[in-house]
Structure 1
Amino acid sequence: MQAFDQIQELWQKHEVEVKFSADEMLQQAKKEVSGIKLKSALNIGGMILSFIAIFLVWIFYDYQSWTTHFGFAIVLSAILISTLILVRDYRLIAKSDYTVHPHEYLKNLKTYQLNRYNLYNYMYWVYTVALSLGFILTFMEILSNLSTIQKVVAVALTFLWILFCSTILRKAVVKREKERISLLIEKFERISGQFSLPS
């Protein structure tokens, strides 16, 4: 037992110190920022493609009911507004360089974090309600051309998809992004605290 206590004491005295240079920490943080910017750009691109696809479906098919046109207008407005919010957030993290303006960049990153929180917790529900309302109005005419089984399948799949995106997928994305941005802010704050960079 005495040998075990000696080993434990030796282990507690042993400290492993991992040192990163300022350049290594900064390069790692910049790589993570690049990943966030790429993801944001891909989200914007996906929203633009969705807007174009839905707009083309609206224009090239002959819809008779005003509810269908109103539904498409609601869906396209929701996508456009969400895209503009994504572009605003992208520009926030892409507009300045940490090495040139560290305090401004940290401020922008914290604003980005707050914007993302608002997007996922408030704007997401506005977006979901707008899409749901738009789809309901659009489906009023489209579903009238389908059989009963096709109607049930179309409505059920749409409902399940919105439910999946609103619960499981949204929570996973929010958690992952919150952790990622918080760690990034922490890294930049640590770099700022350890190394003096010109403002």
Structure 2
Amino acid sequence: MQAFDQIQELWQKHEVEVKVSADEMLQQVKKEVNGLKLKSALNILGMSLSFIAIAALWIFYHFDSWTTHVGISITLAAIGVYTVILYRDHRLIAKSDYTVHPAAYLSALKIYQLNRYKLYDSLYWFYTVALSLGMIFYFIEMLSYLSLIQKVIAVGLTVLWMLFCSTLLRKAVIKREKERIALLIEKFERISSQISQPERI
């Protein structure tokens, strides 16, 4: 049994170097880069549609209380700022051609990675606080039309949803995105090193 454990330990320490050409690596990352761009574009589209829907509600529906107007204004401002930040980051990964300039794309990807960390850290809490304030002001008028049970359900579901998004969902998204971007950066570093040091025959 001890011999088996030693063999298993040696096997785990043994690293097999798989040689993949820069062209093959570029083909591998092509799908990942396109997936990253698509996800980024869908995030921007979702935020833009949210902005339009809330703005349309504000324009076409009559509200009596000034607090509702304040709440919708805060919400629209938060969504607008967040959408602009998402668009700025999207341009980082969409503007360079990674097949022609992998080193330039690598540096843009590293900036994108840092921006995403900021987005999910301090900027996320700004967004959450702004949305919460907007909803509080909005609910002042809306809750006045509901019964006590409906008020409790509406506030309870809103609080639970925000807690879920701020904890479990946020952590899962951050973890998945960190791994995905780190893997892409690692692949582009390999591509850059293979291009700068061509294989010897």
Q: Compute the TM-score of the two structures, normalised by the length of structure 2.
A: 0.89
Q: How does 1:64-75 map to 2 (within 5 A)?
A: 64-75=64-75
Matching residue's letter, 2:51: F
State the partner residue of 1:103: 103
> What amino acid is the match of 2:181?
I
Contact in 1 for aligned 2:93/2:112 (Cα 8 Å): yes
2:151 matched residue in structure 1: 151
Residue 18 of structure 2: aligned partner:
18
In structure 2, runs of 5+ residues without a counterpart are: none
Backbone CA RMSD of aligned residues: 2.2
2:51 matched to which residue of 1?
51
Structure-2 residue corresponding to 1:176: 176
Structure 1 pair 137/193, CA: closer, same or farther in 2 (3 Å)? Answer: same
Q: Residues 17-44 of structure 1: CA distance to partner in whole angstroms, max 9, x if unpaired?
A: 5332322111111211111000000001
**Equivalent in the alignment of 1:36:** 36
Matched, 1:132 2:132: yes
> Cα deviations across residues 57-99 of structure 1 (Å, max 9, x unaligned)?
1112110111100100000010010000000000000000123
Query: Which residue matches 2:93?
Result: 93
Contact 2:48 2:83 in 1 (8 A): yes
Deviation at 1:165, TM superposition (A): 0.2
Partners of 1:191 and 1:79 lie apart in 2 by 37
Query: CA distance change for structure 1 residues 187 and 15 in 2, over 3 Å: closer, same or farther?
Result: closer
Secondary structure of 1:156's counterpart equals helix
Of residues 15-24 and 162-171 in structure 1, the stretch that sits farther from structure 2 once superposed is: 15-24
Structure 1: segments with no counterpart, 5+ residues: none
Structure 2 Cα separation of the partners of residues 59 and 42 of structure 1: 25
The alpha-carbon distance between structure 1 residues 33 and 144, as it changes in their structure 2 partners (threshold 3 A), is same
Give the drift of 1:56: 1.3
Task: State whether residues 21 and 194 of structure 2, in contact with CA within 8 Å, keep that contact through their aligned partners in structure 1.
Answer: no
Cα separation, 1, equivalents of 2:34 and 2:99 = 14
**For residues 17 and 194 of structure 1, what CA distance do their matches in structure 2 show?**
14
Cα 1:17–1:103 change in 2 (3 A) is closer
Of stretches 97-106 and 145-154 in structure 1, the one that deviates more from structure 2 is 97-106
Q: Distance in 2 between matches of 1:37 and 1:17?
A: 30
Q: Percent identity?
A: 71
Change (3 A) 1:53 1:143: same
Q: Is the 8 A contact 2:97 2:105 kept in 1?
A: yes
| 1:103-122 to 2 correspondences below 5 Å | 103-122=103-122
Q: Which amino acid aligns with 1:138?
A: Y
1:125 to partner: Cα distance: 0.3
Tell me how far 1:15 sits from its aligned partner.
8.1
